[in-house]
Chains A and B, each alone.
Chain A
Amino acid sequence: MNARQWYRDLVMGVRFTVTGGREGWTRAVLTGVGVGLGVALLLLTTAIPSALDARHAREAARTDITFSASAPMPRADDTLIAANVDTEYGDRTVRGRELEPEGPRAPLPPGVAEFPAPGEMVVSPALKELLASDAGKLLRERLPDRITGTIGESGLVGSAELAFFRGGDGLAAYLGDQRVQRIDHFGDRDSGAEPLDPVLLLLVLVVFVVLLMPVAVFIAAAVRFGGERRDRRLAALRLVGSDSLMTRRIAAGEALAGAVLGLLFGAGFFLIGRQLVGGAEVYGISVFPSYLDPSPVLALLVAVAVPVAAVLVTLFTLRGVVIEPLGVVRTARPARRRLWWRLLLPLAGLAMLYPMMGQGRDHGNFNQYLVTGGVVLLLIGVTALLPWLVERVVARLGAGGVSWQLAVRRLQLSSGTAARMVNGIAVAVAGAIALQMLFAGVESDYTRSTGQDTTRAQMQVSVPQEVPVAGAAAEFAATKGVRGVSAYAEGYAGDRRSDPGTTAQLTVGDCAALREIARLASCRDGDAFVVRDAEYDTDTRKLAVPGRTLYLDPSWEGVPRSKEIPWKVPSGLRAAGTRIGMTGGEQSGFLLTPKALAADAAPALTGQVYLRLDRGAPDAMERVRNTAAAVHPLATAMTWSDTERSDRFTAIRTGLFAGAACVLALIGASLLVSQLEQLRERKKLLSALVAFGTRRRTLGLSVLWQTAVPIALGLLLASAVGLTLGAVLLRMTETTVRIDWSSVLSMTGVAAAVVLAVTLLSLPPLFRLMRPEGLRTE
């Protein structure tokens, strides 16, 4: 045998694929679609790193305000002042910047052709669309500026991003505010990515393996579509003189053609998907189609690995098939599946993970190769164990009704086909259960309490120093959906004008507001109080000397000079008791009612307004944000929550959900394609069954049982492997092992729903195939 012979036989196989008439083409297209779906998902995965890089690069390129306190840059003809005026709308963030160029050479932000004048703004396409729609009516009230242009792609991180730049005026007065900065360029010149926490890196690795394994399993199954018809054709070839090896090579050629067709379909699906992705937003993340460029090396790997895998899988599956030249393919009675080597795979996986048990996050990164290898082997273990499990269980199933009997006998005859069909879903469920367990286990490490008491306030608005807080409070009180307002003017008093040695907080509010943050025996406007024994406060005692002059809003070295307003500690200072405030800490320092503070001291203080909302009032939060924007463009409205989670943890969890959704959709599609392929091969038999009066219900139920039995077994095995893997991963991160039953039930429930959907979708073609026309031969 030489390469020439190999080539000749492979080419003959390829020719069979394209010359098989309508039947042949149908089979080739089904294989192509199946493999193509897998290839598209692989290409998408290989494009994810570059998409994330592209988002990161765009974000870095438009960086303006760094929130770092440093000496102000002098005004020049190439400077501009940028103010961060981000806002929220519903659960979406709207990136906003107010820009005031200070000279003709002021840098333009990426994606903007010219600076908007005051009263004008340029917006992202998604924001433009939102503002023009009914859904964006309340946001339009907040952003009333005239839209004069659109932000180009280079200024946005995603196609669905909501962003605007508007013209500003007089921003120099706010340069002391961290959200307002003078800059001479856009872009962060050292935007190196922070290293990922070891546990998060572990999560990322496992997420990738878990999402890609089912795809690989599915591609292996797809290249075997049409196996029965192909076997009959190979028998005919044996009859005309092909030897056994030749027929195998011809079969490999057919699989190769299917795989190549799959690559073409996959490239097409990927290009279509790439465009569709451009218009979609998943969990707040959107990308531009141009971001999704697969890494050339990885794309080449996919292009080579898929056809090679197709040939190998075909040769492997033909091992147990004896093709005789009698026109009949006699499948050699498959040898009883052995358990020992199937068990070796998951055990080897566990052995690879074992050395990292108890490592935790304090001993550096987990060994990436051991993690990937261990998880891959454990999940491959599912695909190896499942055929054995299905064979053993279905061999013991008894006869029931006709539909049950048809299904069980079919499973007994070829349990391998059934197991192959559900392998992908079992792997996905096992991986997802393990990951959900890991996520649930480490969630508390990445979630911290904010201290915010959401029973006492649901929103907080910070208003700049110039805005009288009482007036702002009145505006908020009059806002629809606001039930109560606690307003304070807050600042610091130091013992020196600049670089004070000791400082104390100074809070001004009416008696009701002060009672929210301290225990007061009695209170009238004009009273002044001091809280001396609050936790973490040692300075107030030193400063609370009646008649001593302190300085409000003292200056600090390296930052712009502050107001430094002298203030005399009142003589009638009364002691107040501590109380946990709305923000979770004890308020310390001086507490003054409005009349106790001289009017000239007010500019040194910043307003904080805490709002209680009517939870039943629709759009209350949006109306508050609108009021805040009307009070002052730099007023910041924040929504309170009891806890906040690490952004990266949330992003990885979000990625898992998005990936799992894609994989489940793929598996659903693959199950459907496999099901249709099997039904198509049985068209004549189905018609014959109908000819002698078989009810449609009987055949429909038999299809359901045929899928449901292996799926049930697959889910059982997947749950066991998933829980084991989850427990191992938790032990690796030194987290208490706790079974997250809700994730087990939800994942198995979703898988069961996929099966039900596939069965329902395959019923119309089943009924069509049962038509008597199937008996026609001419």
Chain B
Amino acid sequence: MTPPPGSLLCAEQLRKVYGPTVALDGAEFSIHPGEVVAVMGPSGSGKSTLLHCLAGIVTPDSGTIMYQDRELSAMSDGERSALRRSDFGFVFQFGQLVPELTCVENVALPLRLNGTPRRPAEQAALKWMERLEVDDLAKKRPGEVSGGQGQRVAVARALVTEPRVLFADEPTGALDSLNGERVMELLTDAARTTNAAVVLVTHEARVAAYSDREIVVRDGRSRDMERAV
């Protein structure tokens, strides 16, 4: 496979089957540094599976994924885990914050997993919380903050390692429109300032509007909807 010139992450002919369900059936994808790509499609179309494959969480049954000239599917589980710690960031629909840790500890967690000592990790976490306007929640636990606040904490956690690629799976799915828009503004702004590529899985057009390009997934196949920003 020859990756498109300048692409950071690209995939070709991805196929993934869960039991009788064909989740991906020849999907294609590519993204450049600093680019925001929305992956759209109806429920069950395979968009989350595509994200999981691109992030190295799930290995496809066939097809190729290249990240910076390295083939992701050829890497061991340990290598992919290390890559996720260092180069990738994640935001999920429900934040998936660790309920027993305070917000600042949650944001600092990826740095700590990379071996950064607690104090500098939490200092870096506080900076990102400031940028996402949730620094006043530092000592609170996820159960004590609202859904929108929690999602912003999750975005801060995803960006704290300054990842090259940020994967966001329905990041506003559990929020009202006002909170959803605020989260998207902060997420895309922060990603652009660090030149991070964003893979944004959503089924909402207003969320997809924050992207530079859209890919529609239907029945496991992808279709690139090139559009100017």
Q: Which residues does A use to contact B, with CB under 8 Å?
A: 328, 330-331, 399, 402, 405-406, 409-414, 684-685, 688-695, 698, 772-773, 775-778
The answer, among B43, B48, B96, B100, for a CB contact under 8 Å with A776, is: B48
User: Contacts A399-B118, A402-B113, A775-B57; is A413 near B99 (CB within 8 Å)?
Assistant: yes
* CB <8 Å contact, A331 and B85: no
- Interface range, B side: 35 or more
* B125 is an interface residue with CB less than 8 A from chain A: no
A-B CB contact pairs (8 Å), 12 listed: A330-B143, A402-B113, A409-B102, A684-B96, A689-B96, A692-B158, A693-B114, A698-B113, A772-B57, A775-B52, A776-B18, A777-B93
The residues of B that contact A690 with a CB separation of less than 8 Å are 57, 81
Assess whether B120 is interfacial by the CB under 8 Å rule.
Answer: no
**Given that A402-B112, A772-B58, A777-B48 are contacting pairs, would A692 and B105 also be in contact in the complex, using a CB cutoff of 8 Å?**
no
Q: Give CA–CA (A589, B44) in the complex, Å.
A: 103
Q: Is the CB of B52 within 8 A of A413?
A: no
Q: Which residues of B133-152 have CB atoms within 8 Å of chain A's CB atoms?
A: 141, 143, 147
Contact B96–A685 (Cβ < 8 Å):
yes
The reply to whether B84 and A692 form a contact with Cβ atoms under 8 Å apart is yes
Structural contact, B110 and A331, CB atoms closer than 8 A: no
With A688-B90, A772-B57, A778-B44 as known contacts, state yes or no: A693 contacts B81, CB within 8 Å: yes
For A330, A692, A698, A773, the residue with the greatest tally of chain B CB atoms inside 10 Å of its CB is A692
| Chain A residues closer than 8 Å to B55, beta-carbon distance | 691
Q: Which of B97-111 contact A (CB under 8 A)?
A: 98-102, 105, 109-110
Q: Which residues of B contact A (CB under 8 A)?
A: 18, 43-44, 48-49, 52, 55, 57-58, 81-86, 88-90, 92-94, 96, 98-102, 105, 109-110, 112-114, 118, 141, 143, 147, 158, 169
Bound-state CA distance A684–B52 (Å) is 14
Listed from nearest, the 9 A-B pairs whose CB atoms lie closest are A693-B85, A688-B96, A693-B84, A772-B57, A409-B100, A410-B100, A413-B100, A693-B81, A402-B112
Chain B residue with Cβ nearest A409: B100
What residue of chain B has the Cβ atom nearest to residue A706's Cβ? B100
Assess the A691–B57 pair: CB atoms within 8 A: yes
Which chain B residues lie closer than 8 Å to A406 at the CB level? Answer: 98, 100-101
Task: Please name all residues of chain B whose beta carbon is closer than 8 Å to the beta carbon of A411 when the two chains form the complex.
Answer: 100
Task: Report the Cα distance A775→B170, complex, angstroms.
Answer: 12
Give the residue of B89, B100, B143 whose beta carbon is less than 8 angstroms from that of A692.
B89
Contact A402 B109 (CB under 8 A): yes
Docked CA distance A773–B57 (Å): 9
User: Chain B: which residue is nearest A693 at the CB level?
Assistant: B85
CA distance A328 to B146 in the complex (A): 10
Q: Which residues of B lie under 8 Å from residue A772 when comparing CB positions? A: 52, 57-58
CB A207 to nearest CB in B, in angstroms, measures 40
B100 — which chain A residues lie within 8 A by C-beta? 406, 409-414
Instruction: Give the distance to chain A from B87, nearest Cβ to Cβ, in Å.
Output: 10
Contact A413 B141 (CB under 8 A): yes
- What is the CB-to-nearest-CB distance from B120 to chain A, in angstroms, rounded to a whole number? 13
List, in ascending order, chain A residues with CB within 8 A of B58's CB: 772-773
Residue numbers in B under 8 Å from A692 (CB-CB): 84-85, 88-90, 110, 113, 158
Apart from A406-B100, A693-B83, A773-B58, list 16 A-B contacts with CB within 8 A: A402-B112, A402-B113, A409-B100, A409-B105, A414-B100, A689-B98, A690-B57, A691-B90, A692-B84, A693-B84, A695-B81, A772-B57, A775-B52, A775-B57, A775-B92, A778-B44
Task: Tell me the total A-B contact number using a CB cutoff of 8 A.
Answer: 83
Nearest CB in chain A: distance from B217 CB, A: 13
A interface majority secondary structure: helix
Contact across chains for B105 and A405 when beta carbons are under 8 A apart: yes
B57 / chain A contacts, CB cutoff of 8 Å: 690-691, 772, 775
A399 and B18 alpha carbons, distance in the complex (Å) = 41
Chain A residues within 8 Å of B98, by CB: 406, 409, 685, 689
**B84 surroundings in chain A (CB, below 8 A):** 691-693
In the complex, the chain B residue whose C-beta lies closest to that of A402 is B112
The answer to whether B43 and A693 have CB atoms under 8 Å apart is no
- Chain A residues with CB under 8 Å of B48's CB are 775-778
- The distance from the CB of B213 to the nearest CB of chain A, in whole angstroms, is 24
A390 smallest CB distance to B (angstroms): 14
Q: How far is the CA of A328 from the CA of B141 in the complex (A)?
A: 14
Closest chain B residue to A411 by CB distance?
B100
In the complex, A547 Cα to B83 Cα: how many Å? 111
User: In the bound complex, how far is the Cα of B49 from the Cα of A411, in angstroms?
Assistant: 34
Q: Are A688 and B118 in contact (CB under 8 A)?
A: no
Alpha-carbon gap, A402 to B110, bound state (A) = 10
**Nearest-Cβ distance from residue B92 to partner chain A, whole angstroms:** 6
- Quote the shortest CB–CB distance from A624 to chain B (angstroms): 65
Chain A contacts for B93, CB-based, 8 A:
777
Contacts of B105 in A (CB 8 A): 405, 409
Most chain B beta-carbon contacts within 10 A, residue among A328, A689, A773, A777: A777
Closest to B46 in A: A778
Task: Give A36 to B82 CA distance when docked, in angstroms.
Answer: 44
Across the interface, which residues of A come within 8 angstroms of B109, CB to CB? 402
Considering the chains assembled together, what is the distance between the CA atoms of A685 and B96 in angstroms? 6
| Complex Cα–Cα for A15 and B57 (A) | 37
Give B161's nearest chain A residue, CB to CB: A692
Query: Distance (Å) between the CB of A177 and the closest chain B CB?
Result: 77
Determine the distance from Cα of A778 to Cα of B58 in the docked complex, in whole angstroms.
Answer: 15
Q: How far is the CB of A485 from chain B (nearest CB, A)?
A: 72
**A681-B74 Cα distance, complex, nearest whole Å:** 32
> How many angstroms between the C-alpha atoms of A144 and B202 in the bound complex?
85
Which chain B residue shows the least CB distance to A689? B98
Complex Cα distance A777/B109, Å? 24
B114 partner residues in chain A, CB cutoff 8 A = 693
A405 and B96: CB pair below 8 A? no
Residues in chain B near residue A413, CB distance under 8 A:
99-100, 141
The smallest beta-carbon distance between A414 and chain B, in angstroms, is: 8
A4 → chain B closest CB, angstroms: 36
> Which residues of the other chain, A, contact B89 by a CB distance below 8 angstroms?
692
Instruction: Output the residue of A399, A405, A773 with the most chain B CB within 10 A.
Output: A405
Distance between Cα atoms of A688 and B96 in the complex (Å): 7
What separation, in Å, do the CA atoms of A466 and B88 have in the docked complex?
96
In the complex formed, the residue of A with least CB distance to B141 is: A413
Query: In the docked arrangement, what's the CA distance between A770 and B221, Å?
Result: 28
Q: How far is the CA of A429 from the CA of B114 in the complex (A)?
A: 41
Q: How far is the CB of A398 from chain B (nearest CB, A)?
A: 10
A401 and chain B: residue at smallest CB distance = B112
Name the B residues within 8 Å of A399 (CB-CB): 118
A93 vs B89: C-alpha distance when bound (angstroms): 71
| Bound CA span A406–B106, Å | 10
- CA A331 to CA B100, docked complex, whole Å: 13
Closest residue on chain B to residue A777 by CB atoms:
B48
Cα(A773)–Cα(B58), bound, Å: 8
A407 CB to closest chain B CB (Å) equals: 9
Report the minimal beta-carbon distance from A696 to chain B, rounded to whole angstroms.
Answer: 9
Q: In chain B, what residue has the closest Cβ to A329?
A: B143
Q: How far is the CA of A405 from the CA of B104 in the complex (A)?
A: 13
Q: How far is the CB of A515 from chain B (nearest CB, A)?
A: 80
- A778 to B57 alpha-carbon distance, docked (Å): 16
Q: How many angstroms from the CA of A157 to the CA of B112 in the assembled complex?
A: 65
Report Cα–Cα, A46/B17, bound state, in Å: 54
The answer for the CA separation of A692 and B98 in the assembled complex, in Å, is 13
Output the least CB separation between B73 and chain A (Å).
Answer: 14
The listed residue with most A CB atoms (<10 A of its CB), out of B43, B48, B100, B110, is: B100
Cα–Cα, bound, A330→B142 (Å):
11
For B92, list chain A residues within 8 Å (CB): 688, 775
Q: How far is the CA of A688 from the CA of B113 in the complex (A)?
A: 14
In the complex the two chains form, what is the Cα distance from A772 to B86 in whole Å? 18
In this complex, what residue of B is CB-closest to A688?
Answer: B96
Residue in contact with A695 in the complex, picked from B49, B101, B113, B147, CB distance below 8 Å: B113
**Complex formed: what's the CA distance from A402 to B109 in Å?**
8
Please tell me which one of the listed residues A330, A693, A775 contacts residue B110 in the complex, with CB atoms under 8 A apart: A693
Pick the contact of B101: A405, A684, A691, A773 (CB < 8 A). A405
Minimal beta-carbon separation of A589 from chain B (angstroms): 83
Question: In the complex, what distance in Å separates the CA atom of A409 from the CA atom of B106?
Answer: 11
B82–A693 touching, CB < 8 Å: yes
